[in-house]
Amino acid sequence: MFVAMNRFKVTEGQEEAFEEVWKNRDSSLGEMPGFVDFHLLRGPRNEEEGYTLYASHTVWRTQEDFVAWTKSENFRNAHKNAGQNKVLYKGHPVFEGFSAVEGA
């Protein structure tokens, strides 16, 4: 199993707009071989720095399946308008990938 996460610092006051972008996107993840699950997670608010932390969380059968997704036409289509939403973020998303060591 491979878990791919992107962390986003969403500018305070833009949380609803950020969530709407994700709810209305056409990701086509379900069409990809090896795709298992997706969640958009809302984390803590950092009032001092003016953002709310979010993470997109996808689970894949293998890291190779995830890499294939990143090279696919579905990936390009899902991310083609990402630059239009820069105003919602503080900085760039931060990617983190994890291979499963143990699971239930």
What's the pLDDT score for residue 82?
66
What's the pLDDT score for residue 79?
73
Q: Report pLDDT digits (tens) over 2-36.
A: 999 999 999 999 999 999 988 888 778 989 999 99
Q: Report pLDDT digits (tens) over 42-93.
A: 999 999 999 999 999 999 999 999 999 999 988 888 777 666 777 798 988 9
Strands (E), 12-91: 35-46, 51-60
Domains of the chain (ranges; CATH) run: 2-99 (3.30.70.100)
